[in-house]
Structure 1
Amino acid sequence: MKIMIRTAPNGVTSVYVPKKDLEEPIVSMERPGMWGGLVTLANGWQLAMPEMPEGTTLPITVEARRTTTGEEA
């Protein structure tokens, strides 16, 4: 699914999913740089992020894969 990742002025990085009109902050990252690993959103969703070079600037729109629905917890 296409998602947009941005960092707010307060430093919180969030994901916006246009098809769901959903914006949630990222609460944990499998890898320090986020890219190529799983990120967990505040609603419980886990997204598999694409490989991107370190230092990729935000905001950016990428193709990510949802691995959970957030309803398991």
Structure 2
Amino acid sequence: MKVMIRRDSAGKLSVYVPKKDLEEPVIEQEKDDLWGGTVRLANGWLLGLPEMAADTRLPITVEARRLEGD
């Protein structure tokens, strides 16, 4: 699914899912550089993110895989 990942002025990551009109903060991430790992959203979803360069600029729209969660 397509998701937009962005960082707010306080440095917190959030994920927006346009098809669901859903925006949730990231509460846990597998890798410090974000890419190629998983992130858990506040609503319980676990998303797999694609491999990208560590210095990829945000905001960005990527193809993520929903792995588990309500």
Say yes or no: TM over 0.5.
yes
In structure 1, the partner of 2:44 is 44
For the residue of structure 2 that corresponds to 1:67, the secondary structure is strand
Q: Percent of aligned positions with the same letter in both sequences?
A: 60
In structure 1, the partner of 2:59 is 59
Compute the displacement of 1:15 (Å).
0.1
Normalised TM-score (structure 1): 0.92
Distance in 1 (alpha carbons) for counterparts of 2:31 and 2:10: 22
Unmatched tracts of structure 1, length 5 or more? none
Letter paired with 1:64 = A
Aligned length: 70
In structure 2, the partner of 1:35 is 35
Distance in 2 (alpha carbons) for counterparts of 1:12 and 1:32: 13
Is the Cα contact below 8 Å between 2:34 and 2:54 reproduced in 1? no
For the residue of structure 2 that corresponds to 1:24, the secondary structure is strand
Is the Cα contact below 8 Å between 2:5 and 2:14 reproduced in 1? yes
Unmatched tracts of structure 2, length 5 or more? none
Instruction: Considering fraction of residues, name the structure with more strand.
Output: 2
**Could you say what the CA RMSD is over the residues aligned between the two structures, in angstroms?**
0.7
**Which consecutive segments of 4 or more residues in structure 1 shift more than 3 A?**
none
